[in-house]
Amino acid sequence: MPALPLILRAPERRDYAQELIDRFGFEWGSAVPEAGYWLELGYERLELCTQGKHGAVYAEFVEGAARHRREQGGGRGQPVARAIGLKSAKTLPTVVDATAGLGRDSFVLASLGCRVTLVERSPVACALLFDAIGRAARDTATADIAARMTLVHADAIAWLASLADADKPDVVFVDPMFPDTDKKSAAAKKDMQAFQQVIGDDLDSAALLQAAIGAADKRVVVKRPRLGAPIEGPRPSVVIEGKSTRFDLYVRKALS
Ligand SMILES: C[S@@+](CC[C@H](N)C(=O)[O-])C[C@H]1O[C@@H](n2cnc3c(N)ncnc32)[C@H](O)[C@@H]1O
């Protein structure tokens, strides 16, 4: 995919815009394109934009749904926490989120106290995360959570394979983008369609699962739609079902 243009809406943020361009390989944009996608850096945040009915997409850890989950979330009893093994864990597991996306799952786990390394290969998703972690670090309500989140711009298949034994995490979390065949859920997430179209489907999930199993000291957790097929490969050892989501667990050792 050609480099996305980045349009600066807040002139005093030119240095930061240049940093984003240098880090993630975007190019300067001067006018809104007639079609396709572009990034906009405003006073508040970085957004992925497109023409038409889609709203802008951005990662957010301070306000909105993240705030709600932080203040009212289900704590260690919620399905994702149980899947990671938090409910009975005496020490908090270290987690690699191998498919960080917009960081929502990582943020929940970091809110619960885990140290989370977010690995993301898409430059667009990684830039949105970089911006959101920066904003969370500057807000007193979320600064300690942001300090537990480390962002890595890499393909997790190679990155996990390169980890030394001493750096292996307790848990690797995997939530790949599958082709969306569910019309209802597609309609419900209109804004996310822009994100999905820019990122594309993850067609190498089987290789990612293998790399995750090789790198996780204790377990791999795969997030899937409740009725979705498991990732091709070994069968999960445990399955945890939520209302719309399922977690397939590949357990190596019990979390102590
Ligand atoms: C469905 S989204 C994840 C959503 C995320 N769980 C959240 O809470 O926002 C999948 C993301 O994983 C990323 N991804 C898929 N395979 C990857 C890989 N091998 N290495 C790094 N990132 C990967 C994609 O670029 C995409 O951004």
Kindly list the domain boundaries of the chain, sorted by start residue.
5-50, 64-251
Residue 156 CA, closest ligand 1 atom number: 20
**Percentage of residues in the chain having pLDDT higher than 70:** 93
Report the pLDDT value the prediction gives residue 186, as an integer from 0 to 100.
Answer: 52
Query: What confidence tens digit (pLDDT) does each residue in 71-112 have?
Result: 887 788 888 999 999 887 789 999 999 999 999 999 999 999
Residues with CB under 6 A from ligand 1: 98-99, 101-105, 119-122, 125, 155-157, 175-177, 199, 202, 208
Report the pLDDT value the prediction gives residue 183, as an integer from 0 to 100.
Answer: 46
Judged by average pLDDT, the poorest of 29-33, 35-39, 196-200, 204-208 is 196-200
Report the pLDDT value the prediction gives residue 190, as an integer from 0 to 100.
Answer: 65
pTM exceeding the 0.85 threshold for the entire prediction: yes
Specify whether domain 5-50 bears CATH 3.30.1490: no
224 Cα–ligand 1 center, Å = 12
Residue for token digits 């998703």?
125
Query: What confidence tens digit (pLDDT) does each residue in 182-224 have?
Result: 544 554 466 677 788 888 888 899 999 999 999 999 999 999 9
Report the pLDDT value the prediction gives residue 119, as an integer from 0 to 100.
Answer: 98
Query: What confidence tens digit (pLDDT) does each residue in 221-249 have?
Result: 999 999 999 999 999 999 999 888 999 99
181 Cα–ligand 1 center, Å = 18
Specify whether domain 64-251 bears CATH 3.40.50.150: yes
175 Cα–ligand 1 center, Å = 6
pLDDT, average across residues 160-174: 97
Report the pLDDT value the prediction gives residue 181, as an integer from 0 to 100.
Answer: 52
* Binding-site annotation, residues for S-adenosyl-L-methionine: 104-105, 120-121, 175
